[in-house]
C-alpha cells in the first residue's frame, strides 16, 4: 500500500478565510483523481498552517469547523483519507476538550505546527498533548509554521520565506524539543516532522561534534546521549524533497 504522508485539504469554509489556500485546495474529487493517477492508496490530510485563525476569531473557531469537515470527508471516503486534527493553541484551557473531540471524530493523527507565534513545541502547554498522543497511540505530525516563522521579523520575502524560513522553523522545533527533554519524556510518541526535518540532514553531524566539544568545556547540559541518537528515533516525511537517496543515509 502506498500512503501519501503529507497531503492537504482545506475545507471551503476555512479556505475562504485564508490569503493563499483558496478553492484549488478544497477540491477533494480532484485530489482523489490525482491519487489514482499516481497510484496512491491513501493520503494523510494535514493542516498546512495558514492565517485562517486570524480571520475566524481564533483557533477555537477554526478547530470547530476544520476538524468537523475533515471528519466528514473521511466518512465519505473512509478507505482513501486519514485525518489529522488541530488544536486551539491560543486557548490552553480548551485543548483537553478538543483532544477528546478529535478522538471522537475518528481523526487518527495530531497535526501541529512547528511553532505558534514564536513559541515552539517544548512549551509546557504541549505536555498534555503529547501525553494524550502516547496514551492513545496517536502520531504527532509537525508541519512548518508559515505565520511568523523563525527569521520572519528580519526577512519577509515571498520566495525566501517558504524556501528557507519555513524549513528552518521545523529544524529549530526539533532542536528545542530535544534540548528541553520532550523526546525523553515522551518516548512512546511517534513524532513525524515535515520536509526531512528541514536542514537537519545537513547539520546532524555538526550537532554531534559541537555538542561533544561544548560538553568537554561544560558549556551545555548533559543530554544523556548525542543529538543524532535522538534524531534516529524520529520520523520524517519527504514532502518537497526529491533527493531521497541523498537524505536517507543521514538518519
Measure the CA–CA gap between 240 and 155, rounded to whole angstroms. Answer: 22
Is residue 246 predicted with pLDDT exceeding 50?
no
For residue 239, the model assigns a pLDDT of 87
With cut-offs at 50, 70 and 90, classify the pLDDT of residue 107.
Answer: very high
State pLDDT tens for residues 85-99. Answer: 999 999 999 999 999
With cut-offs at 50, 70 and 90, classify the pLDDT of residue 24.
Answer: confident
Is residue 244 predicted with pLDDT exceeding 60?
no
State pLDDT tens for residues 7-22. Answer: 999 999 999 999 999 8
For residue 23, the model assigns a pLDDT of 79
For residue 141, the model assigns a pLDDT of 98
State pLDDT tens for residues 25-83. Answer: 999 999 999 999 999 999 999 999 999 999 999 999 999 999 999 999 999 999 999 99
For residue 8, the model assigns a pLDDT of 96
For residue 233, the model assigns a pLDDT of 95
State pLDDT tens for residues 177-195. Answer: 999 999 999 999 999 999 9
State pLDDT tens for residues 122-168. Answer: 999 999 999 999 999 999 999 999 998 888 888 889 999 999 999 99
Cα–Cα nearest to 53, from 138, 145, 154: 145
CB burial of 202-230 (b: ≥16 within 10 Å; e: otherwise) equals ebbeebeeebeeeeeeeeeeebeebbeeb
Instruction: Indicate the SS3 state at residue 9.
Output: coil
Measure the CA–CA gap between 195 and 158, rounded to whole angstroms. Answer: 19
Strands (E), the chain: 3-7, 42-45, 81-85, 109-113, 115-116, 119-120, 140-143, 191-193, 235-236
Is residue 219 predicted with pLDDT exceeding 60?
yes
Amino acid at each position: 500500500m502506498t500512503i501519501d504522508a503529507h497531503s492537504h485539504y482545506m475545507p471551503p469554509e476555512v479556505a475562504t478565510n485564508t490569503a493563499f489556500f483558496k478553492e484549488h485546495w478544497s477540491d477533494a474529487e480532484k485530489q482523489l483523481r490525482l491519487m489514482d493517477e499516481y497510484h496512491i492508496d491513501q493520503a494523510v490530510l494535514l493542516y498546512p498552517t495558514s492565517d485562517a485563525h486570524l480571520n475566524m476569531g481564533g483557533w477555537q473557531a477554526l478547530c470547530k469547523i476544520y476538524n468537523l469537515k475533515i471528519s466528514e470527508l473521511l466518512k465519505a471516503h473512509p478507505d482513501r483519507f486519514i485525518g489529522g486534527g488541530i488544536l486551539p493553541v491560543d486557548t490552553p484551557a480548551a485543548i483537553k476538550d478538543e483532544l477528546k473531540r478529535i478522538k471522537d471524530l475518528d481523526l487518527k493523527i495530531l497535526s501541529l505546527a512547528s511553532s505558534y507565534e514564536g513559541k515552539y513545541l517544548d512549551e509546557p502547554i504541549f505536555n498534555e498533548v503529547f501525553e494524550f498522543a502516547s496514551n492513545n497511540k496517536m502520531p504527532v505530525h509537525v508541519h512548518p509554521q508559515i505565520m511568523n516563522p523563525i527569521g520572519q521579523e528580519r526577512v519577509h520575502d515571498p520566495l525566501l520565506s517558504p524556501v528557507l524560513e519555513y524549513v528552518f522553523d521545523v529544524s529549530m522545533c526539533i532542536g528545542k524539543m530535544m534540548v528541553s527533554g520532550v523526546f525523553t519524556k515522551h518516548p512512546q510518541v511517534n513524532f513525524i516532522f515535515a520536509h526531512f526535518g528541514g536542514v537537519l540532514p545537513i547539520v546532524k553531524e555538526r550537532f554531534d561534534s559541537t555538542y561533544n566539544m561544548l560538553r568537554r568545556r561544560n558549556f551545555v547540559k548533559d543530554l544523556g546521549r548525542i543529538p543524532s541518537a535522538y534524531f534516529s528515533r524520529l520520523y520524517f516525511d519527504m514532502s518537497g524533497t526529491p533527493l531521497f537517496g541523498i537524505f536517507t543515509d543521514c538518519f
